[in-house]
């Protein structure tokens, strides 16, 4: 079997990769919905993989992995890697987790991720109300993550929150950053207390915090919430589209508190996790399979982190239905440092009409059952006739 074509289409907002082979099998991978511009990045790699055997995943990856980088180039590499595993699984007639060494758990815990409810304000009362809605969600999540401070409009909506310039145009990689005022710090702590009062000790609370914090503020905040037993504080120093890691700054925070510190969603390749893991700079790492270099790369990082006593909670909020399938496959194989992965959903809802293999319901009591994914490969296949109706004109030949 050889690769005869590499295609990319934007379906909904998701860049979808298709690897075409000479034996009629195709494999699919996806990048985050936040990257609808990714098509040329994917197609850049086409000349390097044509004519290769897609079932020899690592051999193909050696041709392109070193040509990637932090977002968005690593996102393209990651989507291709997942499509390769999809082909390999289909060719073998096996789910991908069997090719990764086999599963060590029969179900995988997830947290809310893309299941969110809109907020109209950012007071403690608003956060408490939002947590009540999250707690009642039909998925029955046992762990919920919420954005606060610089990872929310809080920094812009709360007057005198920090000693910096508020921006109405803050986006990924261009958020506010600066020293919190005393009022701002007290406000964040009050919001966290309000959420924990609702969730109690039966549902864990993780906090997406930044990036944007200074080290002194990060330490003060982490210590202030120690009595609340927060599951982790995520991306306080770097994150999202930050193309560097700063393990020395994270280590300063981590060694100053008992509250677990988490980062990793923006990082490409195992090499860039070395400093975080070997220096025990964080307590939890959270690579995204759609950015880190794919699912095999994520598994390697999880195993290396486990050797160093560091926990694993993969990112994935924008990865869509195909990303969800990939996360299920790889997380079934991870060591016991695995906590939960961030649950992505298909947007718009018609995504669930153009694929088959997705169980219904997907999540029950906060877990996804591995055996519910029946199809070989990643466990999802396109209903091509239905999917074609959602292709953009420039992508009309995607399934041909």
CATH code, domain with 7: 3.30.390.10
Q: Is omega for the bond preceding 361 within 30 degrees of 0, making it cis?
A: yes
pLDDT band (50, 70, 90) for residue 174: low
Tokens of 207: 């906090």
261 confidence band (pLDDT: 50, 70, 90): very high
Residue 311: the pLDDT is: 99
| Same-domain status, 14 and 153 | no
- Is residue 286 assigned to a domain? yes
Is residue 140 located within the same domain as residue 171? yes
Domain identity same for 42 and 126: no
Kindly tell me if the per-residue pLDDT of 176 is higher than 90. no
For 268-293, how does the pLDDT look when each residue is reduced to its tens digit (9 = 90+)? 999 999 999 999 999 999 999 999 99
Q: Which residues of 206-228 are buried (b: 16+ CB within 10 A; e: fewer)?
A: bbbbbbbbbbebbbbbbebbeeb
- Do 44 and 19 belong together in one domain? yes
Task: Identify whether residues 81 and 108 lie together within a single domain.
Answer: no
Q: Quick one: which of 310, 189, 305, 306 has its CA closest to 254?
A: 310
212-235 residue pLDDT tens: 999 999 999 999 999 999 999 999
Q: pLDDT at residue 241 above 90?
A: no
Number of domains in the chain: 2
Please determine, for residue 172, whether its predicted confidence score (pLDDT) is greater than 60.
no
Asked if residue 299 belongs to a domain, the reply is yes
Q: What pLDDT shows up at residue 82? A: 98
What pLDDT was estimated at residue 120? 92
Asked if the model's pLDDT at residue 168 lies above 80, the reply is: no
Please check whether residue 84 lies inside any domain of the structure: yes
What is the C-alpha to C-alpha distance for residues 346 and 132, in angstroms, rounded to an integer? 24
pLDDT of residue 355: 98
For residue 64, pLDDT over 90 is answered with yes
Closest CA to 238 of 216, 267, 217, 259: 267
Place of tokens 């809605």: 133
* DSSP-based three-state secondary structure for 156: helix
Strands (E) in the chain, as ranges, are: 3-11, 14-21, 26-30, 107-111, 143-147, 204-208, 232-234, 261-263, 284-285, 311-312, 341-342, 355-356, 367-369, 381-382
CA distance 252 to 113: 28
Structural domain for 357, as ranges: 98-375
Q: Say if residue 388 is in the same domain as residue 365.
A: no
Of the two residues 301 and 13, the one the predictor is more confident about is: 301
Nearest CA among 281, 297, 278, 340 for reference residue 315: 340
Whole-number pLDDT of residue 166: 75
Query: Which is more confidently placed, 240 or 19?
Result: 19
Per-residue pLDDT at 328: 98
Q: Are 394 and 130 in contact (CB under 8 A)?
A: no
273 and 297 in a single domain? The answer is: yes
First to last CA, the chain: 18
State residue 240's pLDDT score: 86
**172 compared with 103, residue with greater pLDDT:** 103
User: pLDDT digits over 185-198, tens only?
Assistant: 999 999 999 999 99
Confidence at residue 175, expressed as pLDDT on a 0 to 100 scale: 73
Residue 12 has pLDDT above 60, yes or no: yes
pLDDT in tens, 35-49: 999 999 999 999 999
Band of residue 322 on the pLDDT scale cut at 50, 70, 90: very high
pLDDT at position 170 over 70: no
Domain assignment present for 181: yes
Q: Which two tokens stand for residue 223?
A: 């210590």
- Whether residues 240 and 305 share a domain: the answer is yes
> 356-394 pLDDT, tens per residue?
999 999 999 999 999 999 999 999 999 999 999 999 999
Q: 124 with 7, same domain?
A: no
CATH number of the domain within which 305 lies: 3.20.20.120
**249 part of a folded domain:** yes
CB atoms within 10 A of CB 392: 10
pLDDT digits (tens, 9 = 90+) for 65-95: 999 999 999 999 999 999 999 999 999 999 9
Q: What is the pLDDT of residue 165?
A: 80
3-state DSSP assignment of residue 229? coil
Indicate whether 361 and 324 sit together in one domain. Answer: yes
> Are 285 and 358 contained in the same domain?
yes
Beta strands 367-369 and 107-111 are: antiparallel
Whether residue 133 is contained in a domain is answered as yes
- The pLDDT assigned to 359 comes to 98
In a domain, 400, yes or no: no
- At 169, is the pLDDT very low, low, confident or very high (cuts 50, 70, 90)? low
Confirm whether 72 is domain-assigned. Answer: yes
Residue 141 CA to residue 236 CA, distance in Å, equals 24
Axis crossing angle, helix 295-307 with helix 57-64, rounded to the nearest 10: 90
Same domain, 216 and 120: yes
Provide the β-strand partners of residue 162: 180
Burial 303-318 (b: 16+ CB within 10 A, else e): bbbbeeebbbbbbbbb
Counting every residue written for the chain, the total comes to: 400
């Amino acid at each position: 079997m050889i690769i005869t074509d590499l295609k990319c289409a934007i379906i909904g907002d998701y860049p979808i990769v298709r690897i075409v082979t000479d034996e009629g099998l195709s494999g699919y991978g996806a990048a985050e919905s936040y990257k609808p511009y990714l098509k040329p990045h994917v197609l850049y790699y086409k000349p390097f993989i044509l004519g290769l055997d897609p079932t020899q995943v690592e051999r193909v990856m050696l041709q392109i992995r070193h040509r990637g980088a932090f977002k968005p180039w690593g996102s393209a590499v990651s989507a291709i890697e997942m499509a390769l595993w999809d082909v390999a699984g289909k060719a073998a007639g096996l789910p991908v987790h069997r090719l990764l060494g086999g599963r060590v758990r029969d179900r995988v815990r997830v947290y809310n991720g893309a299941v969110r409810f809109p907020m109209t304000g950012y007071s403690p009362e608003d956060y408490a109300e939002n947590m009540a809605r999250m707690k009642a969600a039909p998925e029955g999540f046992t762990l919920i993550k919420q954005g606060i401070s610089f990872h929310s409009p809080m920094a812009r909506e709360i007057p005198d929150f920090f000693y910096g310039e508020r921006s109405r145009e803050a986006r990924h990689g261009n958020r506010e950053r600066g020293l919190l005022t005393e009022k701002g710090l007290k406000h964040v702590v009050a919001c966290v207390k309000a959420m924990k009062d609702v969730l109690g000790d039966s549902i864990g609370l993780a906090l997406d915090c930044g990036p944007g914090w200074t080290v002194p503020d990060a330490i003060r905040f982490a210590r202030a919430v120690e009595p609340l037993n927060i599951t982790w504080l995520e991306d306080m120093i770097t994150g999202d589209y930050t193309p560097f890691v700063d393990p020395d700054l994270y280590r300063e925070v981590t060694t100053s508190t008992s509250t677990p510190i988490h980062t990793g969603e923006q990082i490409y390749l195992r090499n860039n996790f070395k400093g975080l893991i070997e220096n025990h700079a964080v307590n939890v790492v959270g690579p995204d399979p759609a950015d880190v270099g794919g699912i095999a790369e994520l598994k390697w990082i999880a195993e290396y982190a486990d050797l160093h006593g560091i926990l694993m909670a993969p990112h994935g909020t924008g990865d869509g239905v195909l990303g969800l399938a990939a996360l299920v496959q790889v997380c079934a194989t991870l060591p016991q440092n695995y906590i939960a992965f961030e649950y992505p959903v298909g947007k718009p809802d018609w995504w669930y009409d153009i694929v088959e293999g997705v169980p219904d319901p997907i999540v029950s009591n906060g877990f996804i059952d591995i055996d519910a994914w029946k199809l070989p490969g990643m466990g999802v296949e396109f209903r091509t006739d239905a999917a074609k109706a959602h292709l953009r004109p420039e992508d009309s030949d995607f399934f041909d």
